[in-house]
Amino acid sequence: MAPRPPRGLVPALIWGLSLFCSLPGPVWLQPSPPPQSSPPTEPHPCHTCRGLVDSFNKGLERTNRDNFGGGNTAWEEEKLSKYKDSETRLVEVLENVCSKSDFECHRLLELSEELVESWWFHKQQEAPDLFQWLCSDSLKLCCPSGTFGPSCLPCPGGTEKPCGGYGHCEGEGTRGGSGHCDCQAGYGGEACGQCSLGYFEVERNASHLVCSACFGPCARCSGPEESNCLQCKRGWALHHLKCVDIDECGTERANCGADQFCVNTEGSYECRDCAKACLGCMGAGPGRCKKCSPGYQQVGSKCLDVDECETEVCPGENEQCENTEGSYRCVCAEGYKQIEGICVKEQIPESAGFFSEMTEDELVVLQQMFFGVIICALATLAAKGDLVFTAIFIGAVAAMTGYWLSERSDRVLEGFIKGR
């Protein structure tokens, strides 16, 4: 059960202050919860392997000038083997190859650590490319550039220039993907070797293709001008090598609802809702109605609201009519409120003073605070003028006066605070 505040002003203030201080922090300063986001997608294993190899190579560069650290490098290399190909260097590189938060890298390193050691001690000379040896040949996670899929098939357009150089081969370099070409804007076809809809060829040779945009509504064209159109986009009609807008609202092509009207736009159209006053319309506003909605009447060429409150429509006692757009409602008259469907007269409670619920002890405390503030104020004013004796005198007089008037001021102060 929630704690209840004590009665009385002073105890209630103390209780509220203690409750506020017990809170973990001000509500208005607590940060709002972060918006939920979809979990990040895991990187392809080939990309993880490539990152691992790149980090490994950076580690080799970082330790390229290092040695065993014993002070006698020549003796160490002669007796202990060279640091360049030592297990010590390999361990130092592997310790920093994955960042602490890269879980996928650590998992792949754990699976391939023996392969990396085998390459380090036995395969470096015959297979100097660690990425090719580890990621493609041994783990079979990656494919050579320009290929994709489990069998490393060539991308459309060939391995030398996938997608003609004007797109991206999906899955290129990995053992996944479909090999589909995602072409750049203006290019299309299986290998991005054609100009897409709305573009025309500016230049083409055996290895080069340049596509440029047609004039706005042209789907196919022979040049950039308005009069170079060969085929129009949807919503346009070809007329003397130019594309002109089709007015769907003037034909049967528009498909709008019964309570909507058609608005023609460039290359298309829009359906907009009729005014509330209309049952079917030919345009915007109450002056374009085919028929008036219930609660409206024809006045000239417009459908206007009927004021139902001009007749007796609210039969209840102490009710009055309130006209609304297309209808009306019955509400209680001023000074009445509805209870169980009947309008009854409101009972206005007597106003009470702000401190009417204060106890006698609390009033005494406020009286003492009031006279104390007066004494301090008078003493401060006197002290600012460097009149020390005047401050003492005024303070003493105020204190004596407060003490003398304390009993006589009860009625005055209580009447002022309680409104009695």
pLDDT digits (tens, 9 = 90+) for 383-404: 665 555 465 556 655 655 655 4
pLDDT digits (tens, 9 = 90+) for 139-164: 999 999 999 999 999 999 999 999 99
Q: What is the pLDDT of residue 108?
A: 93
**Residue 373 in domain:** no
pLDDT band of residue 20 (cuts 50, 70, 90) is very low
Is the confidence at residue 373, as pLDDT, over 70? no
Asked if residue 198 and residue 157 are part of one domain, the reply reads: yes
Is the confidence at residue 320, as pLDDT, over 70? yes
Asked if residue 237 and residue 154 are part of one domain, the reply reads: yes
Stretch 122-132: mean pLDDT, rounded?
Answer: 91
Asked if residue 269 and residue 238 are part of one domain, the reply reads: no
Number of domains in the chain: 4
Asked if residue 313 and residue 295 are part of one domain, the reply reads: no
pLDDT band of residue 311 (cuts 50, 70, 90) is confident
Asked if residue 196 and residue 227 are part of one domain, the reply reads: yes
Q: Please provide residue 91's backbone torsions phi and psi, each rounded to the nearest 5 degrees.
A: -65, -45
Dihedral over Cα of 47, 50, 52, 54: its sign: negative
Stretch 31-40: mean pLDDT, rounded?
Answer: 52
**Residue 64 in domain:** yes
Q: What is the pLDDT of residue 390?
A: 61
**Residue 221 in domain:** yes
Query: Which CATH number is 241's domain given?
Result: 2.10.220
pLDDT digits (tens, 9 = 90+) for 209-256: 999 999 999 999 999 999 999 999 999 999 999 999 999 998 878 899
**Residue 413 in domain:** no
Asked if residue 294 and residue 269 are part of one domain, the reply reads: yes
Is the confidence at residue 348, as pLDDT, over 80? no
**Residue 20 in domain:** no
Asked if residue 176 and residue 108 are part of one domain, the reply reads: no
**Residue 350 in domain:** no
Model's pTM, two decimal places? 0.52
Is the confidence at residue 23, as pLDDT, over 50? no
Asked if residue 240 and residue 278 are part of one domain, the reply reads: no
Domain limit, last residue, from 296, 317, 345: 345
Q: Please provide residue 323's backbone torsions phi and psi, each rounded to the nearest 5 degrees.
A: -75, 140
Asked if residue 226 and residue 175 are part of one domain, the reply reads: yes
Q: What is the pLDDT of residue 157?
A: 93
CA distances from 383 to 2, 375, 386, 396, 397 (A): 51, 12, 5, 14, 15
pLDDT higher for 108 or 19?
A: 108
Q: What is the pLDDT of residue 44?
A: 84
- Residue 258: both structure tokens together: 């019964």
Asked if residue 161 and residue 129 are part of one domain, the reply reads: no
**Residue 66 in domain:** yes
pLDDT higher for 177 or 377?
A: 177
pLDDT digits (tens, 9 = 90+) for 258-294: 999 999 999 999 999 999 999 999 999 999 999 999 9
Is the confidence at residue 408, as pLDDT, over 60? no
Is the confidence at residue 13, as pLDDT, over 70? no
Q: What is the pLDDT of residue 80?
A: 47
Tell me the pLDDT of the chain averaged across its residues. Answer: 80
Asked if residue 320 and residue 293 are part of one domain, the reply reads: no
Q: What is the pLDDT of residue 243?
A: 96
Asked if residue 237 and residue 169 are part of one domain, the reply reads: yes
Domain holding 215, by residue range, is: 149-245
**Residue 15 in domain:** no
pLDDT higher for 18 or 294?
A: 294
CB atoms within 10 A of CB 98: 21
Strands (E), 282-408: 296-299, 302-305, 319-324, 327-332, 336-339, 342-345
